[in-house]
Each structure stands twice: as C-alpha cells, then as structure tokens.
C-alpha cells in the first residue's frame, strides 16, 4: 500500500495540490481559515490511481484507451462530521460490471484518505447492477444517504433507475432502509421511482423511459417538509428536474417538475438546445434558491472564451415549491462561468464562504489531463441572480480577505451546505453539512 503524496504541477501559474496514490492517511494539520482569493493556486483533489493496463505506470492516462483512474470522481457528495473532518462519497467507474459507492475522507480539503466501499449493489435486489450519485444529510444522530440504484448499465435503454436510501450513525457502516416503496421490486432501500404523470416512467421499457436518478434532498423550513430534487425524463422526451416531498425521509410523494430545467423551443438562451438536465443541487443566498443542474448535451465554449457558455446551468426561485404544471416560480438564469465541469456540489464553509466542488469532465475545461479530479472554487456573489467563481485559499488566515465577511446568511434551507447550522425538526436536531 503506497503512502499519499502531494504532487506539485511544474508550471508555477498552474500550481496545484493533488492527492496521489494509496489508501494511507495523509497528514494535514491545517486549521487555517478558508477564504476566496483569485490569486491563490488552484486546488485539485484526486482519487487513488490504479494501473489498469498493467504496464507498471499508473500515470499513463489516455482516456478512453487507457483509464488508470478507477475511482474517477464524477457524481459526488460531501458531508462534514462532528470532528470537522470532511467525508467524500462518489460512485466508482462502471467498466461493465456495475459501480458502487466509494468513501474518502479529508481533514484539510487538500488530501484525501481512501476508506473503501461504503455501499455495494444488492445482487438480488432492485439495485443489482450499479449505485450512483449519492447525497447525504444528517437528521438527529443518523446520516441518510440517498442514491441512485439501477438494474442494468446506463447504456441499456431498458435499464430502470430508482432512488434508494441507506443510513449510518458513523458514516462508515451503511445499511439499506428496511423498506421497499417500489412496486414489483425486491430488496431493501427503494424509496422512490419517478412514476409521475409528467414523466415517461409508465411508458413501455426502452428509450431510456425509466430514468430516476441523482437525488438531492433539503429541508424546507417554511413548509416543514423535506424536498427531493432528482432527474427524470419528461413527456417532451428531454431530461427534467423532478421534485418530491416527504415528512419522514422514507415516504415520498411527487410534487411536480421544473420546466426551467428542460429543453424548450420557447425557452431562452441555452434552454433551446441540449436536453439532458441532471445532477441537481440547491444553494441559497440572500433569500433566493439557486438550482444548479448539468445539461451535458448542450454545446459549450472553451475556457479560452470570455464569459463562456457552459453545460452547468441554473434556475432560481424564492421558494422550494414545485407543481405539476412546470413550476413557474423557478426561472432559468443561464450558466456558471466554468466550462468543462459537471456534477457540482457546494460546501458552505462559513456564513461568507461557499466552496464549489467541480468534477472536471471534458477538455473544454483546459484541464483535461486532470480528467475526473475535483477542482475547488469559491462562489463570488454578484447582482441580479448572478455569481462568479474564484480560486480557494485554504491557508489565508485572514478573515478580511473573504468575500463579504460581514454578511449573515439565514441557514434554515441550506441543507447540504452549512456544516454548523442546526434546526429543530420533529423534536430532534437536524445537522446540516
């Protein structure tokens, strides 16, 4: 087993902090304040590297001919435990035999420690082939992992995708919820399938009709309910973000879909192209919810283009509500400023610092040799529902350099972002990460 190493890129302008091979613990000791600083060196996180082609060189990545990074970090989730350590969960790459949920930890957002498999497919259950796209929250003393389960490969148009639930008290040992809410299936943990009147779920198998993946769950303090955002196939044959409600995290009722996330001939900007909305994630600022989603079928510009058009887009709303008519409260706003990335997650480090965790997905990022590493960027809030990004300084030690450090944000709906916020819920404490 190889020790972790910190690799420094050769060019000073592109100096980056990387995780190298192994599953040994990397020393950190960093307790510095995190801040936004565009003059800081870019920060990257990399999973362990395997020598798939057996040539003795685990660094000869030439995707897709040679793919030495089995643990490519695509759809992922972060959560912070009571000690302050960060836990990263994501699906392993599917080489035809299915995927499972992998687990890493970090104490400094610079180095990762490989823990191992968190959850594997159930060979006899509804999620027999692959597990994707985890999302984790904490309620009371229990962690809840929502994930996508599939009964076949993503490339098979007849594969059925559903939402599953597993729980843990320590983030290390996970058990599927002892229930099944998905008719005609077997095995524990199936809590929701996107069988709604606005989706193609009830259509004959084939044509990728049974899509139901990429769950994101947050608490709606105004309406005292949980809200799930997920990916489905809409009746106009394009991907769409669908929404469901729950009061107990286990039983879910479809609420509606968000028209602003699907391809529309009558839409604006990038709404008229592409067509595969997925990876929903909610962040909130100044009383507004920002729904990030990826449309990987949309054309995007290169990093060299000023104000590039990108595949990660967003809509905004003043509420978390959705309805079966398309949810007019959600308004399409455009796209983030960083091309070539997807599967965005956001960590609320403090009341003034949001860190965006981006999976490097294609060559338009300008970072293609770092395929499927994570890049950390700060969210820099602008006017009129806009925001930019800057580099993250993990060692600034100067709170005055943070973006708007005097801002006090309400944290009531920041589930999945604020690691210190606590809200009452059903007589218990809800721990937000």
pLDDT at 319 over 80: yes
What pLDDT sits at residue 25? 32
| pLDDT for the residue 368 | 84
Global pTM exceeds 0.75? yes
Q: What is the pLDDT of residues 339-372, one digit of tens each?
A: 999 999 999 998 889 999 999 999 999 998 888 8
Q: In sequence order, what DSSP letters do the residues of 219-232 get, joined into one string?
A: EETTTTEEEEEEEE
Residue 70 has pLDDT above 90, yes or no: no
Q: For position 139, what pLDDT does the model report?
A: 97
Average pLDDT over residues 126-150: 97
> What is the mean predicted confidence (pLDDT) over 272-287?
97
- Which pLDDT score is estimated for 32? 43
- The pLDDT of 251-276, averaged and rounded, is 96
What's the average model confidence in pLDDT over 70-92?
92
Distance between start and end Cα atoms, the chain: 31
| Long-range contact pairs involving 283-286 (C-beta distance under 8 Å, separation at least 24) | 283/346, 283/348, 283/354, 283/379, 283/414, 283/417, 284/409, 284/410, 284/413, 284/414, 284/417, 285/354, 285/381, 285/387, 285/409, 286/381, 286/409
| Predicted local distance difference test score (pLDDT) of residue 50 | 67
Least confident of 61-65, 98-102, 196-200, 419-423: 419-423
pLDDT of residue 351: 86
pLDDT at 370: 87
Q: What is the pLDDT of residue 420?
A: 30
DSSP class per residue in 165-195: EEEESSSSS-EE-S-B-STT--STTEEE---
Domains and CATH numbers, the chain: 6-431 (2.115.10.20)
pLDDT one-digit tens code per residue, 162-182: 999 999 999 999 999 999 999
Q: Is the pLDDT of residue 253 over 70?
A: yes
**pLDDT greater than 70 at residue 403:** no
Distance (Å, whole) CA 130 – CA 137: 21
**The predicted structure's pLDDT at residue 384:** 93
For 151-165, 194-208, 412-426, which range has the lowest pLDDT when averaged over its residues? 412-426
Give the pLDDT confidence score for residue 371 in this predicted structure. Answer: 83
CB atoms within 10 A of CB 266: 7
Query: Could you tell me how far CA 138 lies from the centroid of its own chain?
Result: 16
How sure is the predictor about 299, in pLDDT bands with cuts at 50, 70 and 90? very high
Which of 130-134, 358-362, 406-410 shows the lowest per-residue confidence on average (mean pLDDT)? 406-410
Mean pLDDT of 79-84: 95
State how far the Cα of 49 lies from the Cα of 51, in Å rounded to an integer.
7
Contact 115, 58 (CB under 8 A): no
User: Does residue 349 come out as left (phi exceeding 0), alpha (psi in the -120 to 50 range) or beta?
Assistant: alpha
Q: How confident is the model at residue 68 (pLDDT cuts 50, 70, 90)?
A: low
Does pLDDT of 89 surpass 80? yes
Q: Cα–Cα distance between 348 and 407 in angstroms, integer? A: 13
More confident residue, 415 or 364: 364
pLDDT digits (tens, 9 = 90+) for 6-34: 222 223 333 233 333 334 333 334 344 78
Residue 184 has pLDDT above 90, yes or no: yes
Looking at residue 33, its pLDDT comes to: 76
Which pLDDT score is estimated for 423?
29
């Amino acid at each position: 087993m190889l020790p972790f190493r910190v690799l420094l890129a050769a060019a000073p302008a592109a100096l980056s902090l990387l995780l190298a091979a192994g599953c040994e613990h990397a020393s950190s000791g960093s307790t510095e304040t995190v801040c936004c600083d565009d003059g800081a060196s870019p920060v990257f996180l990399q999973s362990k590297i395997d020598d798939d082609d057996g040539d003795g060189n685990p660094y000869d990545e030439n995707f897709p001919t040679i793919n030495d990074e089995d643990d490519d970090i695509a759809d992922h989730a972060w959560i912070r435990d009571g000690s302050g350590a960060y836990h990263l969960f994501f699906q392993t790459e599917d080489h035809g035999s299915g995927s499972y949920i992998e687990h890493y930890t970090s104490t400094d957002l610079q180095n990762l420690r490989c823990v191992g498999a968190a959850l594997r497919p159930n060979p006899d259950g509804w999620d027999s082939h692959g597990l994707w796209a985890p999302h984790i929250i904490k309620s009371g003393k229990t962690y809840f992992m929502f994930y996508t389960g599939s009964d076949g490969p993503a490339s098979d148009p007849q594969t059925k995708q559903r939402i599953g639930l597993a729980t843990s008290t320590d983030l290390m040992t996970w058990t599927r919820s002892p229930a099944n809410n998905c008719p005609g299936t077997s095995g524990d943990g199936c809590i929701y399938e996107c069988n709604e009147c606005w989706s193609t779920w009830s259509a004959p198998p084939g044509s990728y009709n049974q899509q139901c993946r990429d769950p994101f769950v947050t608490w709606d303090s105004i309406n005292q309910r949980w809200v799930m955002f997920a990916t489905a196939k809409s009746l106009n044959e394009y991907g769409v973000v669908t929404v469901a409600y729950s009061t107990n995290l286990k039983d879910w009722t479809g609420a509606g879909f968000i028209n602003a996330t699907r391809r529309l001939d009558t839409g604006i900007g990038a709404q008229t192209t592409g067509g595969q909305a997925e990876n929903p994630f909610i962040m909130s600022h100044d009383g507004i919810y920002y729904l990030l989603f990826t449309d990987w079928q949309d054309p995007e510009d290169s990093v060299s283009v000023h104000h590039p058009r990108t595949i990660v887009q967003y809509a905004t709303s003043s509420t978390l509500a959705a309805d079966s008519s398309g949810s007019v409260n959600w308004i399409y706003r455009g796209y983030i400023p960083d091309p070539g990335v997807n599967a965005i997650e956001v960590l609320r480090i403090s009341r003034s610092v949001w860190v965006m965790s981006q999976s490097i997905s294609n060559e338009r990022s300008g970072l293609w040799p770092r395929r499927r590493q994570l890049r950390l960027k700060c969210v820099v809030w602008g006017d009129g529902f806009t925001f930019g990004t800057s580099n993250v300084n993990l060692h600034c030690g100067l709170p005055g350099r943070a973006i708007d450090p005097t801002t006090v944000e309400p944290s009531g709906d920041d589930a999945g972002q604020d690691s210190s916020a606590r809200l009452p819920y059903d007589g218990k404490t809800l721990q937000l990460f």
